[in-house]
Structure 1
Amino acid sequence: MFSLDPEVAHLNNGSFGAVPRQVQRAQDLLRAEMDRNPMRFFTRGLPARIADARRQVADFLGAAPGLTALLPNVTAATSVALGTIDLGPGEEVLVTDHGYAAVTSACARRCREAGATLTEVSIPFAATDDEVTAAMLGAVGPRTRLAVVDHVTSHTARTLPVRRLCAELARAGVAVLVDAAHAPGMLPEPVAGTGADFWIGNLHKWAFSPRSVAALVVAPRWRSSVRPLALSYEDSMGFPAAVEWQGTLDYTALLAAPAGLAMLAELGLPAMRRHNSALAAYGQRVVAEALDLDPAGLPGEEALAMRVIPLPVAAAPDEASAVALRERIADELRCEVALNFWRGRPLLRLSAQVYNDEADFDRLAAGLPGLLR
């Protein structure tokens, strides 16, 4: 069902996903239609077709279509959300040390431009939901304007209690941006009930959409304030159309996103989630045991298709060496993994998707100890 190289163990679906062949074909048909008559494609009903795709995506996420926009990725959605907040000098934005670097960097730039302060909240690797909530609320001050929290953390592969955080922070008068890059497809109806001011998630990781498709969901009170990244002819239409329409772009990825959702339904999403979670747990166990680590002491959540394994600091003592080690694992073991340098040590992150089986993880477990030595 996929175009992946069969000689490689693809254990990093969490970074770029894998587009199924039938979704590729759906996008290819749309591209052919666009190139056969560009004038007709762009000028006759394209906004309505995007709106239909948006509706299907919103339904899948548990969101309202009128409060949802489709964008290329979470990076772009972050910039739209940050541009909506009227941040002033001396005000504060909270992020966590589990946050994705690109999102944190966007927050830092927004704070520099506004004369605001960026504060990073430290959350222990295995903190409980109570401890996470206490750390975030303890960092809130009289000038705190926005908090950015992950639904599923990228480096550490855990969930944060976003529904609880959104409720508690709202009571403190703080807006919340939920970075849910990994949530669509991995978690059922991830938007429903969060109460987030802004919720952003990628569909090309776990929801089988083409690259790149993301959703931005805004709370009703922000709808009229959202500004598109680029001003185009559709600005008069307001959110979400004004945010989606960016002139002569290739919109075929957005239009083909429902084909990915249809494939998830065909395969049976609940069964897929159980398969992926169990397989990720298997991979964590066999690789940990191969490295003489106790799997019982490693974090892992049943709802997630990702697991992490801390590696010895000597294996990759800095960011550059972590990149080099990841590339050696790819070249010498023929295994694609994520390897992040977090809090002074390398974290190996393993993903499991329907194209994986136990043999993929067994290969990594067999080869990694020798490579590290």
Structure 2
Amino acid sequence: MTVPQPPAPLPGARLLFSLDPAVSQLNHGAFGTVPLPVQRAQQRLRDEMEANPHRFFSRGLVERLGHARRHLAGFLGADPEGSALVGNTTTGVAVVLQSLRLRPGDEVLITDHCYGAVALSVHRECQRTGASSRVLPVPLSATDEEIVESFRAGLRPGRTRLLVVDQLTSATARLFPVAAIVGVAREQGVPVLVDAAHVPGMLPVTVESIGADFWVGNLHKWGFAPRGTALLAVRPPWRERIEPLTVSWEQESGFPARVEWQATLDYTGWLAAPVGVYTLRNLGVERVREHNAALAAYGQRVVGDALGVAPTHLPDPGGPAVAMRLIPLPPGMATTVETAKALRDRIADRLATELAVMAWGGRGWLRLCGQVYNSAEEYERLAVRLPPLLAQR
């Protein structure tokens, strides 16, 4: 089988970023990268804040935050009045968990694809309240129909107080049929929290149509927002039950202001976040999505071939629209979180390449991303240099 051709670069896109040209950044999904126009917009806001902090914080900031939220919610198809800006997806998850007021005998159900920090948050809240957590295994090769049925069988009505499910998983780049899963859970009376950390900007989404009780996604990954920008959307029956992690002066204002207002945070990232959406739209949202997904698929094939992985063994659990791809590592390599991090750092130090190394399902995986600042040559260079490095183990 021939290797697919890489997509043509988007003219001028690389110049929008202040990345070190000596390093290949193939892990956009981890921390995102803030375009220069967004950096400058945030710096202007910081200058305004430092010129007169009292005026910045005490006159109209709540309204400005509401304006930014409405812009971002509109981009994601969420109800602006039923959404709140939060620092990241894990913060949104923590807000929901502590608002549920779990009790002994309650259960939170997650999957084995769950993001590590989210799983730790669930575990901590269950320990604190006397509830329990349970992990539902979902095979990487499962079809959408099989996934939905596994959730149908795995829920325990009357005991399962919350189902936490990824829309697009971090560890495995698996796209879950969340709308269908939400439908099954609603039949059984189980609320659903959708972790959509990687969705905003990468995939088209209409949050309202998913119907989840809680949905939270980062805009600082694929939405070009400053880091620390996420949106938590909450269905109407739950809104007045949502409590912030820290009580501040907007507590009596209700949701979403009581969650957004956290005293003297640096709100400039949230205020500048709409410029990230504007930058994405200027490039062409669909054009960026198609480019990134095609580039990630090309990188997966080139690097996979270099590692001797047959094309039929290169997983594609997210489908053609996902800009993150997995490559299985040789058996026995990077099978734990610790050894995966060590390999990631060795690749970064010796090959000047930042990528994700994941330990999942008893084996190690490389996760490659595609973004408009990447080039086909970066994956080709990695394909040449990575096999000798792995052979040194």
Q: Normalising to structure 2: TM-score of the pair?
A: 0.93
Task: Tell me, yes or no, if the aligned pair for 2:151 and 2:184 is still in contact at 8 Å.
Answer: no
Task: Tell me, yes or no, if the aligned pair for 1:133 and 1:165 is still in contact at 8 Å.
Answer: yes
- Which whole-Å CA distance do the structure 2 matches of 1:362 and 1:293 have between them? 15
1:367 maps to which residue? 385
1:190 Cα deviation from its structure 2 partner? 4.3
Residues 1:81 and 2:99 aligned together: no
- Which whole-Å CA distance do the structure 2 matches of 1:38 and 1:311 have between them? 51
1:242 Cα deviation from its structure 2 partner? 0.7
One-letter amino acid of the structure 1 residue matched with residue 209 of structure 2: G
Task: Tell me, yes or no, if the aligned pair for 1:184 and 1:190 is still in contact at 8 Å.
Answer: no
Pick from 181, 184, 188 the counterpart of residue 200 of structure 2: 184
Gaps of 5+ in 2: 1-15
Task: Tell me, yes or no, if the aligned pair for 2:332 and 2:364 is still in contact at 8 Å.
Answer: no
- Which whole-Å CA distance do the structure 2 matches of 1:159 and 1:272 have between them? 19
1:276 maps to which residue? 292
2:238 maps to which residue? 222
Matched length = 373
2:22 maps to which residue? 7
2:188 maps to which residue? 172
Please provide the CA RMSD for this pair. Answer: 0.9
- Which whole-Å CA distance do the structure 2 matches of 1:170 and 1:113 have between them? 27
- Which whole-Å CA distance do the structure 2 matches of 1:252 and 1:278 have between them? 33
1:49 Cα deviation from its structure 2 partner? 0.3
Residues 1:309 and 2:327 aligned together: yes
1:89 Cα deviation from its structure 2 partner? 1.2
Per-residue deviation, residues 107-142 of structure 1 (Å, max 9, x unmatched): 111111221120100010111111111111211123
1:193 maps to which residue? 209
**Structure 1 residue runs of 4 or more that deviate by more than 3 Å after TM superposition:** none
Residues 1:68 and 2:83 aligned together: yes
1:296 Cα deviation from its structure 2 partner? 2.9
SS at match of 2:210: coil
Per-residue deviation, residues 19-59 of structure 1 (Å, max 9, x unmatched): 00110000000000000000110111000000000000000
- Which whole-Å CA distance do the structure 2 matches of 1:50 and 1:92 have between them? 35
Per-residue deviation, residues 251-285 of structure 1 (Å, max 9, x unmatched): 00000000000001100000000000000000000
Range that drifts further, 220-229 or 106-115: 106-115
Task: Tell me, yes or no, if the aligned pair for 2:115 and 2:169 is still in contact at 8 Å.
Answer: yes
Residues 1:234 and 2:247 aligned together: no
2:118 maps to which residue? 103
One-letter amino acid of the structure 2 residue matched with residue 346 of structure 1: G
Range that drifts further, 22-31 or 292-301: 292-301
Pick from 151, 160, 170 the counterpart of residue 167 of structure 2: 151
Pick from 60, 70, 78 the counterpart of residue 55 of structure 1: 70
1:31 maps to which residue? 46
- Which whole-Å CA distance do the structure 1 matches of 2:355 and 2:289 have between them? 20
Give matches, 1:333-348, under 5 Å. 333-348=351-366
1:20 maps to which residue? 35
1:357 Cα deviation from its structure 2 partner? 1.2
- Which whole-Å CA distance do the structure 2 matches of 1:287 and 1:77 have between them? 35
1:86 Cα deviation from its structure 2 partner? 3.1
2:148 maps to which residue? 133
Pick from 292, 300, 304 the counterpart of residue 308 of structure 2: 292
Identity %: 53
SS at match of 1:278: helix
SS at match of 2:81: helix
- Which whole-Å CA distance do the structure 2 matches of 1:12 and 1:110 have between them? 30
1:320 Cα deviation from its structure 2 partner? 1.7
- Which whole-Å CA distance do the structure 1 matches of 2:115 and 2:337 have between them? 14
Give matches, 1:345-364, under 5 Å. 345-364=363-382
SS at match of 2:265: coil
- Which whole-Å CA distance do the structure 2 matches of 1:155 and 1:330 have between them? 19
Give matches, 1:197-208, under 5 Å. 197-208=213-224
Residues 1:210 and 2:235 aligned together: no
Task: Tell me, yes or no, if the aligned pair for 1:313 and 1:344 is still in contact at 8 Å.
Answer: no
- Which whole-Å CA distance do the structure 1 matches of 2:33 and 2:167 have between them? 21
Gaps of 5+ in 1: none
Range that drifts further, 319-328 or 283-292: 319-328
- Structure-2 change in CA distance of 1:192 and 1:186 (3 Å): farther
One-letter amino acid of the structure 2 residue matched with residue 332 of structure 1: R
- Which whole-Å CA distance do the structure 1 matches of 2:329 and 2:213 have between them? 37
- Which whole-Å CA distance do the structure 2 matches of 1:109 and 1:139 have between them? 22
Task: Tell me, yes or no, if the aligned pair for 1:69 and 1:215 is still in contact at 8 Å.
Answer: yes
1:330 maps to which residue? 348
SS at match of 1:193: helix
Range that drifts further, 316-325 or 23-32: 316-325
